[in-house]
């Protein structure tokens, strides 16, 4: 009975604080603050020494990739990075992703019109948030990517330096470019982590952690 009385008193004390005079003030954050990315690179082959075939229309190049994501057959893509570009402002490229586990069939694709002519290291974010962590665009975890220039567009998709392996993940250097060329297409896949990886520890988790340390 004593325990019940104590709980009631504590609850009453908490509620009574709403009757206090409360003053709220705000101080600007210097620099406006930043944004913490919640995404992770699961494949990267962007090492320099870039080279490319002449600008063309249609398929510009393709390559295989094996990501570091071992938890699922599909990966939600937050960002796609590649080295290359288009010859005219507004030129359209199609990024195609194929599934080798289903006869190399087309799995997913998206179009993008580049706002600037020329070749650069482009980052395409596939969500509304700055890091693309709200993206819903899925690709095979291990697959094939191809970039295709629209009929009215000429563009390029660069290779990395000869003999350089992927920095994150892996691929077959003889696939796409061929064993004689021994180069990888220059691109990177940045993924949205599984929901559990983004979980924020709540009060219950903090209490449990304190008990373990005690």
How far is it, in rounded angstroms, from Cα 96 to Cα 59?
10
Cite the DSSP H helix spans in the chain. Answer: 2-16, 203-213
CATH class of 40-196: mainly beta
Position 8 scores a pLDDT of 44
C-alpha span between 26 and 74 (Å, rounded): 44
In tens digits, the chain (214 residues) has pLDDT values of: 445 444 444 445 555 555 678 878 788 777 766 667 789 999 999 988 899 999 999 999 999 999 999 888 999 999 999 999 999 999 999 999 999 999 999 999 999 999 999 999 999 999 999 999 999 999 999 999 999 999 999 999 999 988 789 999 999 877 876 666 778 999 999 999 876 554 444 555 444 445 555 5
Say what the pLDDT of residue 39 is.
93
The 10 Å Cβ neighbour count of residue 81 is: 18
Q: CB–CB of 193/72 below 8 Å?
A: no
Q: Residue 71 and residue 127: Cα distance in Å, rounded?
A: 22
What pTM was computed for the model? 0.77
**Nearest-angstrom CA–CA distance, 9 and 39:** 46
> Percent helix, strand, coil in the chain (nearest 5)?
20, 35, 45
Q: Which two tokens stand for residue 54?
A: 């002449």
Q: Which of 53, 70, 58, 65 is nearest to 98 (CA)?
A: 65
Number of C-beta neighbours around residue 96 at 10 A: 19
What's the rounded Cα separation, in Å, for the pair 80 and 126?
A: 8
Length of the chain in terms of residues written: 214
Three-state secondary structure call for residue 121: strand
**Are residues 185 and 171 in contact, defined by beta-carbon separation less than 8 angstroms?**
no
Alpha helices in 1-125 (DSSP H): 2-16
């Amino acid at each position: 009975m004593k325990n019940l009385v104590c709980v009631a008193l504590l609850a009453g004390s908490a509620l009574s604080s709403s009757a206090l005079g409360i003053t709220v003030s705000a101080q600007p954050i210097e620099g406006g603050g930043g944004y913490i990315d919640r995404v992770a690179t699961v494949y990267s082959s962007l090492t320099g020494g870039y080279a490319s075939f002449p600008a063309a229309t249609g398929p510009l190049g393709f390559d295989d990739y094996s990501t570091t994501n071992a938890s699922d057959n599909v990966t939600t893509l937050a960002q796609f990075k590649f080295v290359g570009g288009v010859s005219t402002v507004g030129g359209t490229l199609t990024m195609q992703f194929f599934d080798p586990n289903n006869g190399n069939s087309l799995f997913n694709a998206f179009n993008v019109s580049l706002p600037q002519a020329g070749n650069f290291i482009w980052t395409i974010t596939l969500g509304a948030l700055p890091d693309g962590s709200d993206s819903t665009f899925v690709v095979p975890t291990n697959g094939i990517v191809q970039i295709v220039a629209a009929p009215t567009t000429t563009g390029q998709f660069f290779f990395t330096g000869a003999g350089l392996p992927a920095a994150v993940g892996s691929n077959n250097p003889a696939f796409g470019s061929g064993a004689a060329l021994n180069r990888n297409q220059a691109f990177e896949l940045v993924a949205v982590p599984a929901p559990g990886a983004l979980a924020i520890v709540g009060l219950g988790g903090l209490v449990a952690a304190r008990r373990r340390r005690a």
